[in-house]
Amino acid sequence: MNSLFTPNRRRGKLIVVEGIDGSGKSTQISLLSQWLRSKGFAVAFSEWNSSPLVHDTTRRGKKKEMFTPTTFSLIHATDFADRTERYILPLIRAGAIVCADRYAYTAFARDVARGVDPQWVRNLYSFAIRPNVAFYFRTPLDVALGRILGGRNALKYYEAGMDLKISRDVEESFRVFQGRILAEYEGMAEEMGFHVIDATLSIEEQQRQMRAIVLKEIGRSLKSGVLKVPELEFNGKH
C-alpha cells in the first residue's frame, strides 16, 4: 500500500470503509463486523467524529457556523488523534480487529473539497495507523443522492457544504459538494491502494466480495494472531 501513515506491526488489524454519503459504507461494515464476530474474533468499531474530547466544541462550532475549512479540518484531526491514541491503537495492540466507518481518507476527500491544501492535510494525519484493508465504495453521484435524499429530511449546513457558498439551494450545494468529494476519492483510489467495491451491486454481492478480500488480505492472521473472544463473553454472559 502507500507510504503514508504508520505501518501496523501489531497483532490486531484495521479495516476501514470509505466513500461518499449514501454509498453503503455503514451497511457493509456492520455486516462485515457481524461476520467476524460470529467467527469469534474480538471486533471493535470506530466512527468518524465520535471522540468525546471535542464533541461539545464541534457541536457548538457547527451550530453557530463558526468553522472555516482550516479549523474544521483541525478539529476533525483532533477527534481522529484522540480516537487513535485512546481507542484504536490500544485495541490493535491487544489483538482486536478494529472496523472504522470512515478514516483519514475522509479528511483528504472532504477537506480538499473545501479548498484545504492536499499535502497539508496528508501531513496532518501522518500519525494515523495504516489500514490492513481499505474499502472504497464507488457510487455514481445520482445513486448515492437518491439513497440519501430519499430516506431523510433536512440536510445539515456543513454536510451540504453550505459554508462554501456554492449555492443558496441546500440540495444543489450538497450535490456539487458531494461531486467534488467523489472526484477526490476517485483521484486517491489507486494511490491509497483502495479495494474498490461497485456500490451499485446488491448488498449481498458486495458483502461476498468484501469477505473474500478480507480472507485474502488478512486470512493468515485470522488463523492465528488476531484475538479471539472467550466463548462465554462472546455469548454475552459476563
Ligand X SMILES: Nc1ncnc2c1ncn2[C@@H]1O[C@H](COP(=O)(O)OP(=O)(O)O)[C@@H](O)[C@H]1O
Contact call for residue 70 and ligand X (CB under 6 A): no
Among 3, 202, 224, 235, binds ligand X (CB under 6 A): 202
Number of residues that bind ligand X (CB under 6 A): 12
Pairing of strands 97-101, 13-18: parallel
* Continuous segment of H or E residues that includes residue 63: helix 55-63
CB of 93 to ligand X, least distance (A): 28
The interface partner of residue 211, options being ligand X, Mg ion, none and the CB cut-off 5 to 8 Å by kind, is none
Contact call for residue 12 and ligand X (CB under 6 A): no
CB of 23 to ligand X, least distance (A): 4
> Which regions of the chain does DSSP assign to beta strands (E)?
13-18, 43-47, 97-101, 133-138, 195-198
Residues 6 or more apart in contact with residue 174 via CB below 8 angstroms: 145, 155, 159, 160, 161
CB of 101 to Mg ion, least distance (A): 6
Among 26, 49, 209, 221, binds Mg ion (CB under 5 A): 26
Q: Which is nearer to ligand X, 27 or 221 (by Cβ)? A: 27
Q: Which residues in 14-43 contact ligand X (CB under 6 A)? A: 19, 21-27
H-type alpha helices, 65-202: 69-83, 89-94, 104-113, 118-124, 141-151, 170-188
